[in-house]
């Protein structure tokens, strides 16, 4: 299943939150992303249907293996692109915002070239 940009953002957010706290719930995702409960609920439902996410009886959100792989891929793209933009002289907050938009459309080939280039700097 191919994810839309919004689905990728939800997975990335759940990954980031899971690295910062013991358990992640829909309310945490909504607060982090600034989205309403109904929006988060709909996205969580779609991610569960797609096999990217599971929900425990207490409401804790757990990335499946597929969901974790996708989230890690998106997060890596974000961090690599942010590093590149900062190296180019873009202020870090702007670089992070721009990387957030770029991470969803960059090809694997281009990302690998960026990573290789960053290693030579």
Domain finish residue from 64, 79, 109: 64
Model pTM? Answer: 0.89
**Does residue 29 share a domain with residue 54?**
yes
Based on the structure, what is the number of domains in the chain? 2
State both tokens at 88: 């180019």
106: left (phi over 0), alpha (psi -120 to 50) or beta: beta
Domain that holds residue 104: 70-120
Specify the CATH number for the domain of residue 88: 1.10.60.10
pLDDT in tens, 76-99: 999 999 999 999 999 999 999 999
pLDDT at 65: 97
**Does residue 80 share a domain with residue 55?**
no
With cut-offs at 50, 70 and 90, classify the pLDDT of residue 3: confident
Whether residue 121 is predicted with pLDDT greater than 90 in this model: the reply is no
pLDDT in tens, 12-35: 999 999 999 999 999 999 999 999
């Amino acid at each position: 299943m191919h994810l839309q940009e919004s689905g990728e953002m939800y997975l990335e957010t759940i990954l980031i939150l899971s690295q910062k706290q013991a358990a992640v719930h829909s309310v945490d995702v909504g607060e982090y992303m600034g989205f309403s409960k109904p929006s988060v609920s709909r996205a969580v439902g779609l991610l569960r249907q797609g096999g990217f996410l599971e929900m425990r009886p207490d409401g804790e959100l757990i990335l499946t293996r597929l969901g974790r792989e996708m989230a890690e891929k998106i997060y890596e793209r974000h961090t690599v692109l942010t590093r590149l933009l900062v190296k180019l002289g873009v202020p870090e907050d702007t670089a992070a915002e721009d990387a957030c938009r770029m991470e969803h459309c960059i090809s694997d080939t281009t990302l690998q070239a960026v990573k290789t280039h960053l290693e030579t700097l």
